[in-house]
Amino acid sequence: MTWTFPLVAELLSLHGLAVMIGLLIYVLASHALKQRRHPAAAVGWVMVMVLLPYVGLPLYLLFGTRKLVHSGNHPPLGAPAGNIRGEGAWARKLAAAMGQPPVAEYANLRIHADGAQAQRALWEVIDSAERELVVCTFILGNDEFGDALVARLVSRARAGVRVRFMLDGVGRWIGGYRNFNAMKAAGVHVGLFVPLLHSPLRGRTNLRDHRKIVVADGARLWCGGRNLAAEYFTGSAAQKPWQDLTFDLQGALARQAGELF
For residue 9, the model assigns a pLDDT of 58
The region that residue 135 occupies, defined by phi over 0 for left and psi between -120 and 50 for alpha, beta otherwise, is beta
Does residue 223 sit within a domain? Answer: yes
Question: Are both 166 and 207 inside the same structural domain?
Answer: yes
- pTM beyond 0.85: the answer is no
187, 157 contact by CB (below 8 A):
yes
Question: Are both 48 and 93 inside the same structural domain?
Answer: no
The secondary element (H helix, E strand) that includes residue 55 is: helix 53-59
- Return mean pLDDT, the chain: 82
User: Cβ–Cβ contacts within 10 Å for residue 122, how many?
Assistant: 25
What integer is the mean pLDDT of 174-182? 90
For residue 194, the model assigns a pLDDT of 82
Tell me how many domains the chain contains. 3
Three-state DSSP state, 140: strand
| CB neighbour class for 40 (10 Å; exposed up to 12, middle 13-18, buried from 19) | exposed
Structural domain including 47 reads 5-64
pLDDT tens for each residue of 129-155: 999 999 999 999 999 999 999 999 999
Please give the angle made by the CA atoms of 110, 129 and 155, to the nearest 5 degrees.
120
Closest CA to 137 of 172, 167, 171: 167
Q: The domain spanning residue 218 has which CATH number? A: 3.30.870.10
**Going by DSSP bridges, is the β-strand pair 107-111/220-224 parallel, antiparallel, or unpaired?**
unpaired
Does residue 69 sit within a domain? Answer: no
Question: Are both 158 and 132 inside the same structural domain?
Answer: yes
The secondary element (H helix, E strand) that includes residue 190 is: strand 189-193
Does residue 222 sit within a domain? Answer: yes
Read off the pLDDT band of 175 (50, 70, 90). confident
